[in-house]
Structure 1
Amino acid sequence: MQIAVWDTYVERSNGARMHFDILVPAAIEDENQIYEYGEQYLKNKSFKTEALDSKRCNFCHIENASTEIEAAIRDKGFYILEMENCC
């Protein structure tokens, strides 16, 4: 499966900056849908964050999904790859 990688940064209430990727099927091009996936992810965090905005969530590239990521995308429609300050 080809996936689109959306590089995303969100400020936490403690001043730290979260960095994560939103991974979606490459055919999804609706930015509002991708931002909604990011907001769903943020709602499940145990800490407060600023809202996700288009200035800090940008298309990065297309790549092939691993088996694990492909399964998650088939189940939820998206996958979040946590990179910095996400816990």
Structure 2
Amino acid sequence: MQVKVYDTHVRTRDGRYLHFDVLVRGDDGSRAPAYAMDWLEAQGIQAQDVQQSRCDFCHSESASPPVEEAFRAQGYAIIPLQGC
């Protein structure tokens, strides 16, 4: 499975910096910011406390088995990179 990677950077109101990738399939890129917000809320970060500075298309790659499982479970995948 090929996925598109959206490089995402978030600053929270309490000054934290978060960097993670949002992985989507096909033409679902317009949903990447919403998927990022869903994931942040699941981590206990309220959407009103977040200013999303960037969610930009980065590249495409083949999905690993854990990423494929995340797609089966929720339709997208997140790879935490920094501050998460």
What TM-score results when the alignment is normalised by the length of structure 2? 0.85
Superposition deviation, residue 30 in structure 1: 4.2
3-state DSSP class of the match of 2:15?
A: coil
**In percent, how many aligned pairs have the same letter?**
34
Distance 1:12 1:74, change over 3 A: same
Structure 1 stretches of 4+ with a deviation exceeding 2 A read 45-49
Q: Which residues of structure 1 form unaligned runs of 5+?
A: none
Aligned length: 82
> Distance in 1 between the 2:44 and 2:70 partners?
22
What TM-score results when the alignment is normalised by the length of structure 1? 0.82
Matched, 1:77 2:55: no
Alpha-carbon displacement from aligned partner over 1:29-66 (angstroms, at most 9, x marks no partner): 441x22111110111223454133xx510000000000
Which of the pair is proportionally richer in strand?
Answer: 2
The two structures, once aligned, show a CA RMSD in angstroms of 1.6
**Residue 6 of structure 1 contacts residue 22 of structure 1 at CA under 8 Å; is this kept in 2?**
yes
Q: Which residues of structure 2 form unaligned runs of 5+?
A: none
